[in-house]
Amino acid sequence: MPFSSTRLVASILFTLVWMMSLPAQETASVPKEAPSEEANQLQPDPPMLHSDTTIPKVIVFDVNETLLDLAPLKTSVGKALNGREDLLPLWFSTMLHYSLVETLAGEYHDFGEIGTAALMMVAEREGIELDRESARAAIVTPLRSLPAHADVREGLQRLAEQGFHIVSLTNSSSVGVATQMKNAGLTDLFEKRYSVDQLKKYKPHPAPYQMVLDDLGVQPHEVLMVAAHAWDLAGAKSVGLQTAFVKRPGKALYPNVQRPDLIVKDLNELADILSEAKQK
């Protein structure tokens, strides 16, 4: 059977996200070409929507890290790994890696299950004894109790007041994200919540983004995807969505793909830019 274009796009995106998610210690030994003089010159962040860009009707938000702060997980992960809080990035990248592996292999376990398995893998790699029950306790409950970043509630309220339809799209399960939103005090700010468990394909596969378009009956250019992950925005771009990158601490753009339409420090800056654009 021929390899379909959708699967080809998905395969390319999954390779990119795996490479982007690797922690520094995993990639430090890979030789790199010397950057050109042109590449060394920093490109300015897009300050506003381009003049030929449509003002979106719908804003779709990623949840983990974009809206919710993962910092509290350092404590629980560190405790499970004998005080090694520095292993949180390795655990998170391993979880992302195997979510992609499952999608490509036609398998599906929810994010909590993959997170539990990933923590057990990190523990084994580091010579730390950790059973499944302890690993699950270190991941699932804390993941569902994450606080919102300080800018999130105000930023979302401002965007809703400007008339944008606010929805979320997450790799967490439907049950998991409902609990996350409730515990973070954000439930009332979203018109709809979408989860990849409705398709059993993880972002950045094109299918979850297309699911949102189909359900809302909107065109790709009418939707803005907001995330703190370059791989998530790459997936959104693959189906034609506009994109906005939120520069959360430690996050960076992948330079080999199309830059997002917007780069903002937080949701209040996003609200400022969109408000100004609507007034023009």
In words, the CATH class of domain 73-143 is mainly alpha
Using one digit for the tens of pLDDT, what is the confidence trace for 54-95? 899 999 999 999 999 999 888 999 999 999 999 999 999 999
Tokens of 163: 């008339």
Alpha-carbon gap, residue 108 to 110, rounded angstroms? 7
The domain made up of 5-22+43-69+147-279 is a member of CATH 3.20.190.10: no
pLDDT of 168: 99
pLDDT at 279: 87
Task: Locate the domains of the chain by residue range.
Answer: 5-22+43-69+147-279, 73-143
Using a 10 angstrom Cβ sphere, with 0-12 exposed, 13-18 middle and 19 or more buried, the burial of residue 260 is buried
Q: Are 188 and 181 in contact (CB under 8 A)?
A: no
Which residues in the chain land under pLDDT 50? 1-3, 5-6, 8-9, 12, 18-44, 51
- Asked if residues 21 and 171 have their Cβ atoms less than 8 Å apart, the reply is no
Q: Which residue has the tokens 């803005």?
A: 224
What confidence score (pLDDT) does residue 30 get?
35
Active-site positions read: 62
- How much is the pLDDT for 24? 41
Q: How far apart are CA 56 and CA 225, in angstroms?
A: 10
pLDDT score, position 42:
40
* Residues in contact with 63: Cβ distance below 8 Å, sequence separation at least 6, in sequence order: 168, 169, 170, 172, 177, 180, 181
Q: Say what the pLDDT of residue 142 is.
A: 93
Per-residue pLDDT, 51: 45
